[in-house]
Amino acid sequence: MIMNNFSINDFFINAFNFSAIGMAIVSLDGKWLMVNPALSNSLGYSQEELKQMTFQNITHPDDLELDLSNLKKLLKGEIDYYEIVKRYIHKNGCIVWGLLSVSLAKDNQNNPLYTIAQIQDITQRKRMEKEFNQNEDCYRALIESSPNAIVVHQEGKIAYANPKFSSLLKATSDDDIIGQHIIKYIHKDYHEIVKERIELLEQNIPVGVLEQKYVLFDGSVIDVEVIATPIVYMDKPAFQVIIHDITKRKEIERKLNQSQEQYRSVVENVKEVIFQTDSEGQWTFLNPAWEKITGYTIDESMGHYFYDYVYEEDREQYIEQFQSLIQGKQEYFRVEVRYLTKEKGYCWIEVYTRIALNNQGEIIGTLGTSNDITKRKEYEEELKASEERFRLLAEYSSDLITLHDVNSHFIYISPACKEILQYDEAELVGKDASLFVHPDDQNIVAEKLQTLFDTGYTVIPYRFRGKDGEYIWLECACKLLDESHSGEQKLIAVSRNINERKLSEQKLQEANEILQRLSTIDGLTGVSNRRAFDERMELEWNRGRRNSSSLSLIMLDIDYFKAYNDTYGHQGGDGCLQQIASVIKETLGRSTDLLCRYGGEEFCVILPDTKEVGAKIVGEKIRYSIEKLKIPHAGSKILPWVTISVGTASIIPTVYTSYMDLVSKADKALYKAKNEGRNCVQSY
């Protein structure tokens, strides 16, 4: 056996010399008595050099007191050993971190002989710890200052949230969020898919970016983009979620889709052909009007050259115009040509064409509109075959063409009169057109006729009485004609029925008015909302500043409303808010006073031309009216029914103040009312 060949002393010497960590025998005053090679290598001194030194000589000054203090306790018998992390100074001057364990050797009489020191070199570990801490600090700083909301949740509960997440949810502090279940802030429509994603992440299966909706503290809903990854947080499995608010982007997308849908609807239903060609003249886009006018389907026309459908006699002229456009010699042209129809005939088309450019400004083709003017052309031919005055009318062919003398008497009426106005030509010729104008439009017609005589041209929108007694909206383009052969002036008018357009304009105006009203009304209570409050305060502030008159503001808050919601539920809370809003409206005595829902359970009342005493009277009336309702409130700490705290403030606006100063005063008064026991009125 080994013990037969070596003594205990030999084992100790071998263990001492071949130990992987530093070991030393140190005198009671700190002198190195024996050091092993591992310690010598760590500190850079030879064993002989160390024996000429004390541990105090190579201990970092900042760590010496701790070491000596522990040594003193060891020598006094207060402790059996001690272990500390300390710094030694290497022979080359650098720092060596050591994990020092010290015990005391004693003789048979229990007298201290020397200390036994074990010194493990942990310099590399300390360096790694430092780098780790630096990286962790850097990472935390990045997380804290990130423009994106970041949250960490474990077992579904939020363990960490950066300031941006709290701000995104409109939370008052992190305490409102930490410990809450993450699903609480996710819209119910996304609960199932979020749970499925969490299950996948728990199996280390990557999940992609998800667009979903979050519910904020104020009840509003926003669109977000979410990226989730599994991490280890506080030594436990967790999920890090990065949330990007995309509400504005989604709104833009919705508006863009709506705009595109409206554009598509217009393109598909407009009577004019809307087209695009490439630079060679091949169709790349045609709307449904093409099929109605020519009889050719879009599918059989796409990819063919436009001039394949142009009447042969008109083809050369049209191609020359097209080439001039593609070569950049002109930006657009308008031409009247004949297009072939599938029924082997042709139709007259008025074509407006302009160049199409790419993002680099290069010409890539053409786009434009084509309008079927076949009927107009036919009528022009009829006019040419008629008397001289009808030849003058060729360029104005449209729905309704009339000719008048300078006193507005009808001289000629086109056949469209029957369809548009229900009159036969003979029923109107010789009569004064002004007799058929709506009374409310007489002045505008007179003004426009004066413009006609001054400039030679005008457009008049007005209502004309039809044969059935109903008024029809017409848009009338009038031109002054000088007939040199007779020396007389005449008026030629081209009129169109714009009833549908006017009706659409009226409906649009009504819709805009409704939307404007809705945008300033709180959806729950029916009273004015925060937007209306800001607009009205700005208005009353400016008025008060001009007139140097007092402006008062009442801010009120339902006492213990959170407890009310907890007791009766949010539906009950909504009902309570509605009752209170209704009673406050009934309490206000002036039409100029405005009640607004300021947010949550907080309401404001704007009182123009009201001084402080008046505001306090109104505030007390409101407080008493609410208390008198005796709406049950089991969660109240004041009374068994709903009460409110009221703050009032008054000010005379000046150029050196803003209405937010008044809001701040009223808010402080409300805070004072709450501190005074609630269910009271306080002023500031």
Please give the helix or strand (H or E) that residue 510 lies within, else none: helix 499-518
Spatial distance between the Cα atoms of 538 and 592, rounded to a whole number of angstroms: 14
Spatial distance between the Cα atoms of 369 and 377, rounded to a whole number of angstroms: 18
Sign of the C-alpha dihedral computed for residues 630, 631, 634 and 639 taken in this order: negative
Cβ-defined contacts of 496-500 (< 8 Å, 24+): 496/398, 496/399, 496/400, 497/399, 497/400, 497/420, 497/472, 497/473, 498/461, 498/473, 498/474, 499/472, 499/473
618 — alpha (psi -120 to 50), left (phi > 0) or beta?
alpha
| Catalytic residue of the set 144, 155, 601, 620 | 601
- Catalytic status, residue 601: yes
Spatial distance between the Cα atoms of 433 and 464, rounded to a whole number of angstroms: 9
Sign of the C-alpha dihedral computed for residues 419, 421, 422 and 426 taken in this order: negative
Q: Taking Cα atoms as reference points, which of 651, 670, 614 lies closest to residue 537?
A: 651
Cβ neighbours around 609 below 10 Å, total: 15
Contact (Cβ atoms closer than 8 angstroms) between residue 428 and residue 412: no
Angle at 153 between CA 148 and CA 156, to 5 degrees: 130
What is 387-453 written as a DSSP string? Answer: -HHHHHTGGG-SSEEEEEETT-BEEEE-THHHHHH---HHHHTTSBGGGGB-GGGHHHHHHHHHHHH
Residue 149, class by beta-carbon neighbours within 10 Å (0-12 exposed, 13-18 middle, 19+ buried)? buried
Q: Which residues are catalytic?
A: 601
